Amino acid sequence: MGIKISKVYRPMAAFAVLALALSACGGGNGGGGDGGGAASQNLDSRGPITYVQGKDNSEVIRPLVDKWNAAHPDEQVTFKEQSDKADQQHDDLVQRFQAKNGDYDVASVDVVWTAEFAAKGWLQPLKDTMAVDTTGFLPATVAAATYKDTLYAAPQTSDGGILYYRKDLVPTPPKTWEEMMGMCSIAKEKGIDCYAGQLAQYEGLTVNVAEAINTAGGTIVDKDGKATVDAPEARAGLNNLVQAYKDGNIPKQAVTYQEEQGRASFQDGKLMFLRNWPYVYNLAKTDGASKVKDTFGIAPLPGKDGPGSSSLGGHSLAISVDSKNKATAKDFVSFMISEETQKFYATQGSLAPVLESLYSDAALVEKLPYLPVLLTSIQNAVPRPVTPFYPAVTLAIQQNSFAAINGSKSVDQAMTDMQAAISAAGAK
Ligand code: GLC
């Protein structure tokens, strides 16, 4: 680096060099690493890259990658498809990024992983020559891809919870949780299950519990990041899920459901109400196996007095700080978030655009009647806690809420333990 250390100031200067060297290692201590030296490498390099994301349920990625590859013979993209399970996707990315060999160039990163990965110094800051255009994007999607005032990923698709319901059985969807519980007698008469979301012990449970808590007027953390789950409103929120499970309004097997198991049950006509993400819409309409093609409707999540609050979901495209071909990676990211591509995500996969204007694009809205409901859901969505220590925070929520739902802990005990565990995780 050619830094000269004068004799007089040696101790201080040596400290400064050490600090520089440490930051060049990319942190790993939650210090908001910028990838250090690696972030300035390979910015102009072009060549083959690998794109990784979770299972392409809606079959949107392969056609896009084919389109890109046809136009870029020397910059081919290989699509690495992970499983459909959020936690497995996360752990796979952690292992690869930790190895620092750059074998994942571009990765689809869940909104709740940005802070963790950025703090570890694994993501290329998208600034200067690596900047991407996010003009007109929903502000919450950009905020979710930003850590310590730097954009670390490009918003790709957003996500908000929606209530899928059987309009042949329930002509008017419930507006409140209580109303929905009241309608469960209809499901019982028909011999089908009433309500399910994602209650297996994984990230989806955190999503569903956070929604129950927020809808009841509680919060997980306050604006300073301090845990607030021992407040009465938060307890009341979890209690709604616990009670519904006890009563059988949420079926026993629902504690094994991630997104896809709930979708299967709903499409099979065995579930009256399903909390899920927008991707289910197109599949439930078009899947050969769907028995509810013409009989399901969508509505905002039911709340306390009116619509409930959704957890903010979604994914952003990050470039690995160790990618060997960052110029190609950046162009591919720009292609994957372009307006045209976003329209394709919406029409082909009923995925939520990040470009706000698409929600009022007349032609699109005519084709996709779920867009207005979705926009309301996303605009009112509440982010999960933003912290580099998110893995420990989400584990605290999952373990304790799962114990309360399956009856091995009281709601009070679960919330007391959750409060302690979130605080210990260092959220604040
Ligand atoms: C969806 C959401 C994501 C969430 C995950 C939980 O993929 O977009 O934000 O964490 O579901 O399973």
Instruction: Give the tens place of pLDDT for each residue, 80-132.
Output: 999 999 999 999 999 999 999 899 999 999 999 999 999 999 999 999 999 99
> Which residue lies with its CA nearest to atom 6 of ligand 1?
204
Closest ligand 1 atom to Cα of 198: 12
User: What value does the mean pLDDT take over residues 197-216?
Assistant: 98
Residue with tokens 């996500």: 159
Average model confidence (pLDDT) for the chain?
92
Which of 391, 331, 329, 379 has the alpha carbon at shortest distance from 354?
Answer: 379
The predicted model scores a pTM of 0.91
- What is the Å distance from ligand 1's center to 204 Cα? 6
> Which residue lies with its CA nearest to atom 4 of ligand 1?
313
In whole angstroms, give the CA distance from residue 49 to residue 107: 11
Domains and CATH numbers, the chain: 28-159+314-379 (3.40.190.10), 162-311+389-424 (3.40.190.10)
Tens digits of residue pLDDT in 256-301:
999 999 999 999 999 999 999 999 999 999 988 899 999 999 999 9
pLDDT bracket for residue 36 (50, 70, 90): low
Percent share of the chain, pLDDT over 90: 88
| Choice between 372 and 1, residue whose per-residue pLDDT is larger | 372
Q: What angle do CA 369, 374, 380 make, to 5 degrees?
A: 150
In whole angstroms, give the CA distance from residue 386 to residue 130: 24
| Choice between 20 and 423, residue whose per-residue pLDDT is larger | 423
32 HSE (CA, 13 A, CB side): 7
In whole angstroms, give the CA distance from residue 202 to residue 204: 6
- What is the Å distance from ligand 1's center to 14 Cα? 45
| Ligand 1 site, CB within 6 A | 86, 110-112, 159, 203-204, 207, 259, 277, 313-315
pLDDT bracket for residue 147 (50, 70, 90): very high
Q: What is the CA radius of gyration of the chain?
A: 23
- For ligand 1, mutation pick of 89, 111, 159 (most atoms within 8 Å of CB): 159
What is the pLDDT, as a whole number, of residue 426?
Answer: 77
Backbone angles phi, psi at 273, to 5 degrees: -125, 135
